[in-house]
């Protein structure tokens, strides 16, 4: 019997394999900014970031300044970019801890410049252009003016130009965005401003091999073994397996209600197992009466409503079941497998949400790879015209 309620097993060798797949698709010489926002898509940001750094990624991408600070506090020193925006109260932290910032307006550049001057520290700046996503980024028509302001502001370094594809699987929309981004790139160069490394391709665009001429890719969910949209890439390996255990078994006669509001009523005499995992741990409430788990290599349906801390499954047709049996929520058992996509489809959501909502009570365990600072053999190399990047740890 495990001494845990619910745990995730993280396969860092699979993560390495997926990173190799990214590099193969991106092409030789391309930089890789590995995305570790949202607790590395639920996998555990600090151990994942250490492993990716040991594999020689050029930079890490996060969602906000606190995620960046968590990595800095853990001793991770390779470049980190806040992909979205920062609010004024975060400026001093990002400047003081050498965190790169994405900017979308002249006003934010000026604020950042004043903070960098106060601290007397250089700040890496990436200018984001809205080419069709409509969420963040400056209008293409003012990108040159903002780039010129960045270059003219003391202590600011113009280290990146980026955009975000709204629908990589839509070739027409993506072609429009690529064209707009190229027009901005040419205009910046025509203004006499050296063009920094450019990045636009998240996982979907990497898999579709959109804009292969850009210098950097920034994969997220594909690093963790999932394709964001068709076509599915069979070269990717799942990194996470989610497990729990049976803590209670009870026999029910036909016609017995199970769980809150009695929404499930047994149709036959059966046995029901209680599992110490619920929606607080990230197993969606919407899977009530829809989900299936794996017990002793057999599928067992979720019955009744999922609660905050527990869910119940019908194990009446699982031979030899007993308290303490391991239960697979995501992953394989015998010849059966429950995938993240299957859960997402049943819950009527997307795989991103299934992974990123995994809660604090889920104990992450890691096998293979490097999850802390290597004691030796880990050096930082300067790549001309690009970010600093660690050499692979051996």
Note whether 389 and 30 are within 8 A (CB).
Answer: no
Per the annotation, the verdict on 260 as an active-site residue is yes
Give residue 188's Cα distance to chain centre. Answer: 31
Residue 209 CB partners (closer than 8 Å, separation 6+): 25
Per the annotation, the verdict on 41 as an active-site residue is no
- Helix or strand or coil: residue 356? helix
Please state, in angstroms and rounded to a whole number, the distance separating the CA atoms of residues 213 and 53: 24
Closest by CA to 104, choosing from 120, 82, 89, 71, is 82
Half-sphere exposure (CA, 13 Å, Cβ side) for 225?
21
Q: Out of 128, 243, 260, 352, which one is annotated catalytic?
A: 260
Please confirm whether the linkage preceding 231 is cis (ω < 30° from 0).
yes
Q: Out of 37, 41, 128, 310, which one is annotated catalytic?
A: 37
Which pair of tokens denotes residue 185?
A: 């790139």
Closest by CA to 330, choosing from 273, 282, 276, 272, is 282
Q: Are strands 248-252 and 198-201 parallel, antiparallel or unpaired?
A: unpaired
Handedness of CA 79, 229, 277, 275 (dihedral sign): negative
Burial profile 336-361: b = 16 or more Cβ within 10 angstroms, e = fewer:
bebbbeebbebbeebbbbbbbbbeeb
Closest by CA to 279, choosing from 299, 255, 305, 256, is 305
Residues labelled catalytic: 37, 260
């Amino acid at each position: 019997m495990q001494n845990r309620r619910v745990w995730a097993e993280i396969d860092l060798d699979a993560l390495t394999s997926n990173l190799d797949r990214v590099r193969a698709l991106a092409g030789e010489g391309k930089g890789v900014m590995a995305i570790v926002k949202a607790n590395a898509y639920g996998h555990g940001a600090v151990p994942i970031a250490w492993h990716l750094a040991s594999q020689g990624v050029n930079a890490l991408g996060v969602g906000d300044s606190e995620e960046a600070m968590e990595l800095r506090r853990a001793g991770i020193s390779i470049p980190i970019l806040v992909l979205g925006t920062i609010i004024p109260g975060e400026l001093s932290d990002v400047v003081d801890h050498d965190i790169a910032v994405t900017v979308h307006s002249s006003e934010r550049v000026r604020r950042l410049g004043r903070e960098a001057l106060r601290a007397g520290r250089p700040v890496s700046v990436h200018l984001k252009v809205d080419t069709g996503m409509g969420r963040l980024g400056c209008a293409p028509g003012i990108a040159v003016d903002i780039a010129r302001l960045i270059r003219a502001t003391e202590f600011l370094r113009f280290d990146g130009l980026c955009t975000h594809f709204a629908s990589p699987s839509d070739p027409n929309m993506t072609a429009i965005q690529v064209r707009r981004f190229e027009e901005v790139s040419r205009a910046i160069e025509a203004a006499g401003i050296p063009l920094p490394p450019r990045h636009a391709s998240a996982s979907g665009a990497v898999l579709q091999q959109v804009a292969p001429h850009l210098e950097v890719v920034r994969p997220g969910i594909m690093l963790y073994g999932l394709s964001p949209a068709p076509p599915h890439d069979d070269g990717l390996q799942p990194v996470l397996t989610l497990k729990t255990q049976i803590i209670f078994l009870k026999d029910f006669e036909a016609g017995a209600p199970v769980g809150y509001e009695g929404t499930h009523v047994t149709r036959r005499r059966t046995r029901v197992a209680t599992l110490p995992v619920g929606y607080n741990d990230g197993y969606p409430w919407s899977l009530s009466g829809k989900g299936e788990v794996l017990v002793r290599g057999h599928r067992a349906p979720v019955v009744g409503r999922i609660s905050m801390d527990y869910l119940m499954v019908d194990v009446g047709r699982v031979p030899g079941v007993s308290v303490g049996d391991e239960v697979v929520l995501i992953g394989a058992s015998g010849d059966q497998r429950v995938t993240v996509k299957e859960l997402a489809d049943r819950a009527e959501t997307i795989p991103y949400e299934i992974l990123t909502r995994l809660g604090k009570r889920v104990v992450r365990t890691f096998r293979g790879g490097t999850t802390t600072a290597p004691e030796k053999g880990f050096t930082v190399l300067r790549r001309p015209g690009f970010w600093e990047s660690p050499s692979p740890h051996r």
